[in-house]
Amino acid sequence: MDKILIVDDNEQITSILATYAEKENLSPLVAFDGEEALALFQKHSKEIQIVLLDVMMPKLDGFSVCKAIRKMSMVPIIMITARGEDFDKIMGLDIGADDYVVKPFSVKEVMARVRAILRRLNQTGEESRIYKVGKLSINMEDYRVTLDDHALALTKKEIELLWTFAKNKNKVFTRENLLDSIWGYEYCGDSRTVDSHIKRLRAKLDEYAHPEWDIKTIWGVGYRFEESKDEK
């Protein structure tokens, strides 16, 4: 059975999440601090399909654990925070988290997000996972992006945004489309999340010339990936 790593120093929360995870046919591994979480992940990394990770924990906080896991794996990570400030949310996404939930939360909602992320990964696995245009190469097998022979330091979300754009060239995505397809659920928060991610993605891409393509803003609508008409 596929495993889910649940990390929180609150035993009541881990117990409830573990019970619901079993209903989703996921075998729960539970850790109560950051060091224990990393030890479990290193031992079971090939079996763990997704991680639920609290931010405020003893020994190592959730941000530190997320960074450490990202050095080893691109497994989906959902951050759990007791605070709702944008700083926590944005920092978690910037260091490689796939999603976040704020306490108190609905366990059913958390499991819905887990299902959505796993479903999206299964769908991606059914198609070619390498895309090239001009001097840009996106490899979703190892989450590696190169441009003009330079490896780009993109976050997981930035890579998934770029992949979604490139694989659907000329399609206009609204912010709501992107929140739903990249974050994997009907997002009810602030759509500025998309704008901030795309701004940072563009800044990294624009370090190298890419006349063959561009990510265009369609004012009042959203964004789309356009290839140059001169490139065939």
pLDDT, one tens digit per residue, over 192-228 is: 778 888 999 999 999 999 999 999 999 888 999 998 7
CATH number at residue 154: 1.10.10.10
Q: Are 208 and 100 members of one domain?
A: no
Q: Report the C-alpha gap between 146 and 166 in whole angstroms.
A: 14
Running DSSP on this structure, what letter comes out for residue 68?
A: H
Regarding whether 113 and 135 lie in a shared domain, the answer is no
Alpha helices, H only, the chain: 11-23, 34-44, 62-70, 86-94, 107-124, 156-167, 175-183, 192-205
Structurally, the chain folds into a number of domains equal to 2
Do 115 and 146 lie in one domain? The reply is: no
Token representation of residue 73: 């794996």
**Of 60, 94, 124, which residue sits at a domain end?**
124
State residue 157 phi and psi, 5-degree precision: -65, -40
Whether residues 73 and 137 share a domain: the answer is no
Tell me 75's DSSP state: -
Task: Identify the domain containing residue 163 by its residue range.
Answer: 130-227
Q: For residue 232, is pLDDT > 50? A: no
Helix, strand, coil shares of the chain as percentages rounded to 5? Answer: 40, 25, 35
Q: Verify that 181 and 197 share a domain, yes or no.
A: yes
| Least confident range of 68-82, 109-123, 174-188 | 174-188
